[in-house]
Amino acid sequence: MGSTNEEETQRKSLSTRESQALSRLASEGQQIITIGDIADVLDIPRKSAKDMAYTLKEKGWLERIAYGKYLILPLAAGENAVYTEHEFVIASALVEPMYIGYWCAMNHHGLTEQLSRTVYIVTTERAQEREIHGVTYRPVTVTEQKFFGYQPTAVGSNQVNISSIEKTLVDCADHPEFCGGIDELAKAMQNAAEVQCSWKRVVEYLRRVRNGAATKRIVYLADQLDIELPEYDEIVEDFTTGYPLLDPTKEAKGTRDSTYQLRLNVSPESFQPEDFS
């Protein structure tokens, strides 16, 4: 419980001017600030604002997260073991374009109760994985063709792009390793069936993404969970050749199933609807 006090005492005290800058910026609900923001709130030259940002960083009140962008560190930064809305705002400042996806989006939409200590950022750019206050920010680079199906979502006083329920399911079927494996995707699909999920849109997105393995996984799980997919026969007819693993996070073993053209390396018993009730 003492970590907050320890963190506060580790920080160097602020001058009146620095304190004024931080309190004004924080009162506007800003968590990510730029040199320009400091210059504006204090009405000082950019050079002075830059010096102040450097000093605040050295004193432990700001963290530089990108060129010219700083995160105002909350008093209890890093104390909680789960990510909060705060992390989504940080993620949005790390790379552009971006949207929050995979496991984090599943949790945001209430499709899973499991929390990931990694924040997955979908982007078309190449970006480095970062760790900020014990949270890993993992950019996943996708092609332009796969970069769609998200919307700006209010996170506190900020707007952050988060993938829709339908795109989240398709992305997780494309990369089960970024959502905790096929079991988590099965639970998410079961939960999605109980909210306003458009399976028509899921099918449309699968066609746009054009990943054969993702399509097979969704069709297989839908059958196990008694979810009726529209245009079912057409999707099955279009199955690509090859037998990808049902769950790429697990060992490459199990039977090749010719109906779904998948290698079933996880027992189908794991995906019965009653298991999730």
CATH number for position 47:
1.10.10.10
The answer on 110 and 47 residing in a single domain is no
Let me know if residue 79 belongs to a domain: no
Count of the separate structural domains present in the chain? 2
The answer on 198 and 110 residing in a single domain is yes
pLDDT tens-digit readout, 25-45: 877 777 788 999 999 989 999
Contacts 24+ apart (CB under 8 A), 139-142: 139/94, 139/95, 139/98, 140/101, 140/102, 140/175, 140/178
Let me know if residue 80 belongs to a domain: no
Let me know if residue 54 belongs to a domain: yes
Cβ-based neighbour number of residue 276 at 10 Å? 15
Half-sphere exposure of 27 (CA within 13 A, CB side): 7
The answer on 221 and 198 residing in a single domain is yes
The answer on 52 and 101 residing in a single domain is no
Per-residue confidence (pLDDT) for residue 74, from 0 to 100? 65
The answer on 115 and 24 residing in a single domain is no
Let me know if residue 130 belongs to a domain: yes
More confident residue, 272 or 100: 100
pTM: 0.78
Beta bridge partners of 135: 132
Let me know if residue 77 belongs to a domain: no
Distance in angstroms (rounded) separating the CA atoms of residues 74 and 77: 5
Let me know if residue 78 belongs to a domain: no
pLDDT tens-digit readout, 196-253: 899 999 999 999 999 999 999 999 999 999 999 999 999 999 999 999 999 999 999 9
pLDDT tens-digit readout, 132-158: 877 899 999 999 999 999 999 988 777
Domain boundary among 72, 105, 124: 72
Domain boundary among 26, 47, 72: 72
Let me know if residue 101 belongs to a domain: yes
Cβ-based neighbour number of residue 10 at 10 Å? 9
Structural domain including 22 reads: 3-72
Let me know if residue 174 belongs to a domain: yes
Q: If you average pLDDT over residues 1-6, what whole number do you get?
A: 42
CB contact at 8 A, 55 and 18: yes
The answer on 108 and 28 residing in a single domain is no
Domain boundary among 17, 37, 72: 72
